Every structure is written in structure tokens, then in C-alpha cells.
Chains A and B, each alone.
Chain A
Amino acid sequence: MAETGQGAVAAPVKDERVKETSALRKALIRPELGAIVGTIAVFIFFILFAGDSGMFNAQGILNWSTVSAQFMIIAVGACMLMIAGEFDLSVGSMIGFAGMSIALIAVTLQWPVWIAILLTFALCVAIGALNGFIVVKTGLPSFIVTLAFLFILRGFTIFFPQLIERQTIIGGISDAAEGDWLAPMFGGKIAGPFFDWLASIGVIDVFERGTRAGQPIVDGIPMLIVWALVLVVVAHTILTRTQFGNWIFAAGGDAQAARYVGVPVNRVKILMFMFTAFCATVFATCQVIEFGSAGADRGLLKEFEAIIAVVIGGALLTGGYGSVVGAALGALIFGVVQQGLFFAGVESSLFRVFLGVILLFAVILNTYIRRIITGER
């Protein structure tokens, strides 16, 4: 079921084939409605229960926004792919693999960091294309093909550093990235002067002691968050404002029907696998540059976190229906809940219980909304 609304509404002449729907109903049947309501509910909940715990001071906001932005980056890729009707379970392993690739090229081979980053992007996007190619050519479920890559990539991520450096954590990337032109694009911060000003008028706290005494505790917006927002805006625009976006919906809704009307379904799917790999690599690069080391265990289970965010955001597991904004809100809910439960003082082992409950509610709600849209009962 392709979303045909936004692409075709521009027709100025009243057309009897276009069904009239009220503005209210249009607003109600958006796929991201559930996520919007959920976001509001989650914020109200935490303002009530953790309002005075530091969750909403500058440091706390930065904390959950950063975590949400991490989820957002991989959720955008997973969302586009899911709308195109496929899954990628290798996202988490891809994150570990990409990080290790940057570390090995930059630290072990001593090549400049920007070359390491670009080579890694090329390599990972190529692996994404391979994923897509195998799925499209064999007709196997992407669940199985990418599950294979989950193991293959994780295996290499452990094997290569052990073979070359005899350890599974590779550090020293911060030193290597010193003065590099590309690294700050992933690990840097922007709007520093604005935060200095906020600190000078007393809106945010400053460090009390140490080498950074007097500097603001939050000294800028991490590029991670900027990447997340840019990816959301770009992906949303492509999905809802372009012909290619309609192809994505069509490929995921009914691939055979889409082929009949001339949509290059295989190309669309492979491109979406590449985009998912790209998003995973963005995540890995930001992490490696920020923390200065790559570990073989990075990114474990991140594929499921991405899928959870997308599903909370209202996308259908079977494809053809969903929204990037919804996925982004799903990521926000996920991040706020994960970090917020701690601020609210909940026992940490209960986090998974809450996650499961939220996931269940989101899916039930989304099914309900979809029934309104499709009219099925």
C-alpha cells in the first residue's frame, strides 16, 4: 500500500477520482501520529517523575539527546530499508566492523585519518550493496542473508585486530586524528561560543575544578546530533517529496505490482541496503572519533534497537508503510526512556521490562491507527 497522498495533491483542478478527506482526518492518519503522542507522553512522564533529578539541566539534556541521536542515525537507515520491504540485521556488527576498520587503517597502517574514514565508508557501503545484491538475486529473505553478515562481520571485527595487534581494543585514534580535516566533521562540536555565552549569563553550570575550571559543562552540540538531524531531514525529503521516495514505498508495498508499473525495484532495494550501511558507518565514525578507540564488542544488539525505534515510529515490518519522522521520534522515545529511567531512579535491570512494554504499546497503537486508515476492521 503505497502512500500516494503527498506526491499527487498538487493538482489544482478538482478531480472526481481523488477522494476528499477532512484536514482533521488527514492529521489523524499520519503514520507518525503514534510516535508524536508517545513522545509527548514520555516527556510528561519524566518531567513529573524526574523533573528535579538533573535530567533537564544542560548536562542531562545533552546526555539523552546524544543517546537519542545515536539511535536516530541507525533508525533512519533501518526505516528507509524497512519501508522498501527489507531488514538489515547486520547493522550492529557493521558498526563494530567500521570502527575497527578506521582504527586499523589510521593507527596500525598510520595512514591519515581522513583516508581511513573515506576508505571505510567505501568498504562498508560496498558490503551493504553486497547484502542487497544477494537478497535481490537469490530471493532469500533479508532476515537470513543479513543474519549471516551479522556473524561474518563480527567475526572479522574480532579476528583482524587480534591477528595484527594481539588485542581487541585499539586506541590512539585521538592522537592520529589531531589536526585532521575530516575527523572534526564526526567528532567535533559546534556552537561553542553560544554555550560560553549561556554559561556567562548563568544558564548552564561551569566546571568547578580541574584544568577546565570555569568552562561551561556543556561546551557545544556534538556533530553526532547534527548528523542525526541532517539525515532525518534529507531522508524525509527524499521519501515524501521525490519520485524516488514513491518508488521506495512501491517496492516495499508490493514488489511485483511495482515492477509492472516500471519501478526499478531491485535498484531501489540495493540502494536502501547501501544507505543503511552508510548510516551504520556514520554512527561508527562518530563513536570512534569521539572516544578515540575501537573495540571488537562495539555495536552489539544495535540492529534491534534500530528496528525497535522504527517500529515505535509506526513503520510496518512488512514494508510499504512508515515515516522517517516517526522513526526519529521513535529513537527519541527510546533514548529518553533509556536514560530517563536512570534519572528517575529505577533499578537498571528493569530497563528491558519498560522497553518491552513500550514496544508492545506502540505496536498495538500503530495497528489501531492503520486500521483507521485502511478501513479494515
Chain B
Amino acid sequence: MNGFFRTVATTAIAAAALIGATTAHAEGERYVLVSHAPDSDSWWNTIKNALALAGEQMDVEVEYRNPPTGDLADMARIIEQAAASGPHGIITTLADPNVLSGPIRAAVDSGIDVIIMNSGTPEAAREVGALMYVGQPEYDAGFAAGQRAADDGVQSFLCVNHYISSPSSSERCQGFADGLGVELGSQMIDSGQDPAEIQNRVMAYLNANPGTDAVLTLGPTSADPTILALEQMGLAGDIYFGTFDLGGDIVQAIRDGIIQWGIDQQPFLQAYLPVVVMTNYHRYGVLPGNNINSGPGFVTADALDLVSELAGEYR
């Protein structure tokens, strides 16, 4: 069995070297961020980078953990395990309160401070005993967008809802209508997911309601066909056009002046701010008195160069 023990010893030394390289068990604060995203989800790379940056700037130890396949039951175990390792704080998403509220509640009750980021709502965060919620509340984002449009002289609008079964999509339209100060009714159309259908419905609505001032789309799925529809009708650049989320075609349309602004929920802040908030809370006992909205950040033609330069890294 000598060969075997030699291999064991080699592994142990190799592993020890790896561990030694990755941890510097500092005396200072330690925070763990647990996400629900599988390894393959590149959107979360921004979160990882922002977390590392915050750890560096605040001089605290930060760790990023996620279930490799995105399995929420595995995520619950990771939260339990994070709690068992006794960090100063846990930053986590609340993707499914059914599965996650138990482990989060247990972590809070065992004396670990928790901040909810990204998925979830301020109410759900309060229910599990979290310090605060850092994310983009959909209604508030829509409301801010509506106010911005109102300032630009918009009085009526069309909301292209491609995901009408999801309550948060409708909240975006509702917020926009309230920010604009108009009643939400038939301006919100159920466009479906098919690009051709979306394009035709937008054209049909705008033909039937020629006095419409503005178009709001809820993401690349509805924005891209809407751009085509406006180009066909000769309205591109003429009608006021705002959208949620960013994507390749949207960025190009902003550059071409077809879209006035895109709403960015700014994932950077969702990872960065909780670390800053918790570190200051643990060091000096200060805590902001409310939840923090990481969005809406409005991306316009002016700021476009910075966005495309840092896309995938910090934006």
C-alpha cells in the first residue's frame, strides 16, 4: 500500500497549497454571498467582480458561493453551511421564499446579519429578518421611469408586456403609468414571446392609437421586435422609447437615437453595497434606515461608451 499512501500525501500537500493560496484567515470581518445562479450564468460575473472589489476596498474577507447547477435545494444547504462557518454576515438572494426562508431565518436567529439582494422584495426580506433589501423594486423602477418620461413631455404610452403571467412585469407597467400620472388600462398589451407577433401587435396598437407619445418595453425580448416595428412605421427616433434591461440591439438603438434610455438594475451595486453597509455596521454600528434601490440606473447615449467598455465586468 505504500504507493497509495504516497499518493495521499501528495494530494494532501497539493490541496494544502491550494487552500493556503486561497485563504488568508484574516482577523477582520468575513462575509459570504450566496447566489441562486448556476455556474453557467455569466450575468453574475459582475456580482463576483463587485464583491471582490468591495472586499478589497473595505479590507474584509469575502466569499462567493452558488449551487453549481442552480438547484435551490442545494442553495439552502449552502446557506446552512455558510451559517455554520460563523461569518459576520451573509448576503443572499431570496429566489424562492418557500425553500430559503427557513435556512435564512435560522442564520439570522443564530446571530448572523443577513442582507437580501437581487431576487426578493423588501417585504419578504423583512419577513425573514434581514437587515435590508438591496435590489431593484420593479414598481419603483417603473415609477422613476414614468416620472422621467413625464418630465420629457410624455402624456400617453404603450407598454409592451411579453411576460404577462409574471407579476413583476405588470408592476413595471403599473409603476410607469403612476409615474406618468395616467390610469393603466389597455395601454398594456400582452404581446406574447414570439418576435413576429410582438412586432405586429405593436404596429396594430400604434395604428389604432396614432396619438401615443411613448413606448415602454420590458426587456430585449419585447424591445428588439419593437425597434423593427418602429422602423417599419417610420416612427423610429420620432416616438419616445424607453426599455428595461440592456442587450446588444438595445445598446445599438440607444446609440442610433431610437431608444432614449435603457433601465439598468446595476448588479454591481447589489453585491458592492451590502459589503460596505455591513462592514460599517459591524465596525461603527451605523446602518442606513431603509432598503437601497440599486436601480433604476438610466443608460443614455451619453454614458454608452463607459457601459460598453465595462460590459460583463462591472456593468
Q: B-contacting residues of A (Cβ < 8 Å)?
A: 37, 41, 45, 49, 53-55, 57, 59-60, 62-64, 66-67, 166-167, 169, 171-174, 205, 207-213, 217, 287, 291-293, 295, 297-301, 339, 342-352, 354, 357, 361, 364-365, 368
* B77-89 interface code vs A (CB 8 A; 1 in, 0 out): 1101111111000
How many A-B pairs with Cβ below 8 Å? 138
Question: Which of B3-11, B134-142, B258-266 forms part of the interface with chain A?
Answer: B3-11
> Which chain B residue has the least Cβ–Cβ distance from A211?
B109
List the A side residues contacting B23 at CB < 8 Å. 344-346
List the A side residues contacting B86 at CB < 8 Å. 53-54
Answer whether residue B39 sits at the interface, using C-beta atoms and an 8 A cutoff: yes
Provide 22 A-B residue pairs closer than 8 Å at the C-beta atoms, listed in order of the A residue. A37-B4, A45-B12, A54-B84, A54-B86, A55-B84, A66-B80, A67-B77, A169-B96, A169-B98, A207-B106, A209-B108, A212-B109, A291-B73, A291-B76, A291-B102, A295-B71, A297-B69, A298-B72, A300-B69, A342-B82, A344-B19, A348-B64
- Contact check, B4 vs A339: say whether CB atoms are below 8 A apart: no
Q: A-contacting residues of B (Cβ < 8 Å)?
A: 3-4, 7-8, 11-12, 14-16, 18-19, 22-23, 25, 39, 63-66, 68-73, 76-78, 80-86, 96-99, 102, 105-106, 108-111, 129, 165
- Contact check, A300 vs B70: say whether CB atoms are below 8 A apart: yes
A243 to chain B, nearest CB (A): 34
List the B side residues contacting A37 at CB < 8 Å. 4, 8
What 8 additional pairs, Cβ within 8 angstroms, besides A210-B105, A368-B4?
A45-B15, A54-B85, A173-B98, A291-B99, A298-B73, A350-B22, A365-B4, A368-B3
> Given that A209-B111, A368-B3 are known contacts, is A171 also in contact with B69, CB under 8 Å in the complex?
no
- Contact check, A63 vs B3: say whether CB atoms are below 8 A apart: no
- Contact check, B85 vs A60: say whether CB atoms are below 8 A apart: yes
- Contact check, B84 vs A287: say whether CB atoms are below 8 A apart: no
- Contact check, B84 vs A60: say whether CB atoms are below 8 A apart: yes
A331 to chain B, nearest CB (A): 14
A375 to chain B, nearest CB (A): 17
- Contact check, A297 vs B72: say whether CB atoms are below 8 A apart: yes
List the A side residues contacting B84 at CB < 8 Å. 54-55, 57, 59-60, 62-63, 343
A228 to chain B, nearest CB (A): 15
- Contact check, A292 vs B98: say whether CB atoms are below 8 A apart: yes
